[in-house]
Amino acid sequence: MRAYQVQTANGVEDIKLIDQETPTIAADEVLVKMKACSLNFRDLLIPLGGYVRNDVRPIIPISDGAGEVVAIGDAVNNIQVGARVAGNFFQEWIDGSMNDAGLHSALGGSINGVLADYFVLKANAAVAIPEHLSFEEASTLPCAAVTAWHALVAQGNLQAGETILLLGTGGVSIFALQFAKAMGANVIITSSSDEKLERAKSMGADYTINYVNHPDWEQEVLNLTDGKGVDNVLEVGGVGTFEKSIASTKVNGTVSMIGLLTGAEGAAFNLSVVFNLLRVQGIYVGSVEMFTAMNKLISEQNIKPVIDKTFTFNDSLAAYQYLASAKHFGKVVITNDQ
């Protein structure tokens, strides 16, 4: 089969297209024919030497894939050949709290991912795709969508009427916009692009802030909330936005720490966390249980993931480069052309 492989820490340009044997499966696993996969910011970091605890090489990259089950292990009785599935980001996080084994089971980082003609999933971590979604749409769910769900619902306990702040218009933020509006919340979203902000507004965003025009955007957030701040910030920026996110959050509110688009190293202590009784919650994708609950809402509300651009398997490195350009609104997808 064809597969892309991260062999060095020299960057995306050094990812190799190789030919290797189709993987065999254990008794509790399924073999999936990859139909589509989607990229996350994390996928730009894996070829540079790893991501948190993920520093395994050589490795097949990308965590988010959807496809058709073509073989099942001898002990599998919950999935049939022909089923349409997506893989949970963490293959060993089924429900409850994360543990150390779960942290070392991330597709495309700790273990082989999905950028290949076929990929292997644990049967209990292969999640049925909502019927109204294509493989391309379903491939966008495992990381970005589940992360947004974890932050808003599983940890954030989102309630109708609350106000959520979203930073940027990447995958996590756009899914969060869709989920928050479906559940009756108010949404403030930021971007450097007025065009992207208009698109977000057309999707239901209540307020938009261009952070280039308003570098002190946290003050704009306070102005829009009568000085109170928001209930939950999905903090995808990292060190460059963390202080502003804290300043944007109401008393007893939550800062959901998700990403590091602007960097990972910086001051971690802020007295506002104490004086405003804030909860700073780390969010690292989610469990099969969260994925399944999220899919229920997606099906009930007929939610369609936003795909910015699609590339063919042979043009996978171009997809990486497009993601790195930060021109996208929503998700970047790779389809399998064989």
The set of residues, in sequence order, having a beta carbon less than 8 Å from that of 309 and lying 6+ positions away, is: 319, 322, 328, 332, 333
Domain boundaries, the chain: 2-143+305-335, 156-282
pLDDT of residue 56: 79
- What's the CA gap between 11 and 6, in Å, rounded? 9
What is the Cα 152 distance to its own chain's centre?
Answer: 13
The string of pLDDT tens digits covering residues 295-316 is 999 999 999 999 999 999 999 9
pLDDT of residue 3: 98
The fraction of the chain above a pLDDT of 70, given in percent, is: 93
- What's the CA gap between 181 and 98, in Å, rounded? 28
| DSSP code for 145 | I
The string of pLDDT tens digits covering residues 150-178 is 999 999 999 999 999 999 999 999 999 99
Burial class, 308, CB count within 10 angstroms (exposed 0-12 / middle 13-18 / buried 19+) = middle
- Residue 261 pLDDT more than 50? no
pLDDT band for position 263 (cuts 50, 70, 90): very low
The string of pLDDT tens digits covering residues 90-143 is 999 999 998 988 889 999 999 999 999 999 999 999 999 999 999 999 999 999
Domain 156-282, architecture per CATH: 3-Layer(aba) Sandwich (3.40)
- What's the CA gap between 175 and 169, in Å, rounded? 9
Residue of 156, 181, 150 whose CA lies nearest to 286: 150
pLDDT band for position 280 (cuts 50, 70, 90): confident
| Residue 26 CA: distances (Å) to CA of 7, 237, 269 | 25, 39, 46
pLDDT of residue 278: 72
The string of pLDDT tens digits covering residues 175-232 is 999 999 999 999 999 999 999 999 999 999 999 999 999 999 999 999 999 999 999 9
Pure H helices in the chain: 42-45, 100-103, 135-138, 146-149, 171-182, 194-202, 217-224, 242-247, 271-275, 288-300, 316-325
Tell me: domain 2-143+305-335, CATH 3.90.180.10, correct?
yes
The string of pLDDT tens digits covering residues 285-295 is 999 999 999 99
SS (H, E, C) 175-231: HHHHHHHHCCCEEEEEECCHHHHHHHHHCCCCEEEECCCCCCHHHHHHHHCCCCCEE
250 membership: H or E segment, kind and range: strand 249-257
- Residue 272 pLDDT more than 70? no
- Please identify which residue in the block is written with the tokens 């002190």: 216
Ramachandran bin of 140, using left for φ above 0, alpha for ψ from -120 to 50, beta for the remaining angles: alpha
CA angle at residue 165 from 160 to 170, to 5 degrees?
115
The string of pLDDT tens digits covering residues 27-73 is 999 999 999 999 999 999 999 986 655 567 899 999 999 999 999 99
| DSSP code for 292 | H
Strand partners, 189: 166, 208
Query: Which phi and psi (to 5°) does residue 167 adopt?
Result: -100, 115
The string of pLDDT tens digits covering residues 236-252 is 987 779 999 999 999 99
The mean per-residue pLDDT over the stretch 9-31 comes to: 96
> What is the DSSP pairing of strand 118-122 with strand 163-167?
unpaired
Q: Which amino acid is at 205?
A: A
- Residue 260 pLDDT more than 60? no
pLDDT of residue 73: 97
pLDDT of residue 96: 95
The mean per-residue pLDDT over the stretch 70-92 comes to: 97
Q: How many CB atoms lie within 10 A of CB 81?
A: 12
- Residue 268 pLDDT more than 60? no
Q: Omega of the bond prior to 58 within 30 degrees of 0, cis?
A: yes
